[in-house]
Amino acid sequence: MPRITPSNMLRSIQRCLPGIATRHKAVSPAPRTAWVDMGHSLTLNGGHSTLSTQHLSYCSALAVLSDWNGRTFHTRTLMHLTGSNLELGLLYQDAGELIATLKESLASGGKVIWVGGVDSQSDYALAMSLNQSHAGGQPLRDLFETPGVSTVIAGASGIEIQADGTFTLTENIGRGVLSEQEVEGLSRYA
């Protein structure tokens, strides 16, 4: 009589009941989504969670991604700035101080994304937002001019950012990602 082992028992079951007892390769769970509400900021360190904010109207979103490890950005911050305003944009933090800290994290490069909401995505509104003065400087402009940093400016009602830096804007609501020419055109309002 043949000896029954788990491996030949599995083959026997598969012959009798094809498709019932099969071995499946383990599948990684889908990344979780971390939601950022209006007036809040969230920083994720490591992992593969997605950062997302929605319902941008007069508000804007600022994402700063740093510490690239070859596959993902280890440190990812997303802010939903109320009224696109640095002075009063965050409920429990000073946006200008946070931006200064984030700028330091970009010393080795990274990615910065600005999304003007549906009512703050015109060339004029984007330029005014990015050129805001705060504590004697222009922290957003300085952030976007950091050497070695990839920058994106867009208009949409929301954004979802993956750990690898790819992102999706809310479809059909907003002007989308600005071209290089459109970004250069913002300087006429400076």
Q: What is the pLDDT of residues 103-159, one digit of tens each?
A: 999 999 999 999 999 999 999 999 999 999 988 999 999 999 999 999 999 999 999
Report H helices in 131-179: 139-144
Q: How far apart are CA 164 and CA 64, in angstroms?
A: 12
The architecture of the domain spanning 30-189 is 2-Layer Sandwich (3.30)
pLDDT value for 115 = 98
pLDDT at 1: 47
39 against 5, higher pLDDT: 39
Is the model's pTM score more than 0.85? Answer: no
The neighbour count for residue 41, using CB atoms within 10 Å, is 23
Residues of the chain above pLDDT 90, percent: 77
Mean pLDDT of 171-178: 89
Tens digit of pLDDT for each residue in 34-55?
A: 999 999 999 999 999 999 999 9
H-helix or E-strand spanning residue 97: helix 95-105
Of 14-18, 38-42, 80-84, 181-185, the poorest mean pLDDT is in: 14-18
69-88 per-position pLDDT tens digit? 999 999 999 999 999 999 99
What are the residue ranges spanned by the domains of the chain? 30-189
- The yes-or-no verdict on residue 183 having pLDDT over 90 is yes
Contact 85, 72 (CB under 8 A): no
| H helix or E strand, kind and range, residue 78 | strand 73-81
pLDDT-based confidence at residue 4 (cuts at 50, 70, 90):
low
* CA pair distance 164, 189, nearest whole angstrom: 33
Quote the tokens at residue 40: 């809040």
Q: What angle (nearest 5°) sits at the alpha carbon of residue 100, between those of residues 96 and 102?
A: 115
The whole-number average pLDDT for the span 89-93 is 95
Nearest to 144 by CA among 176, 89, 185, 102: 102
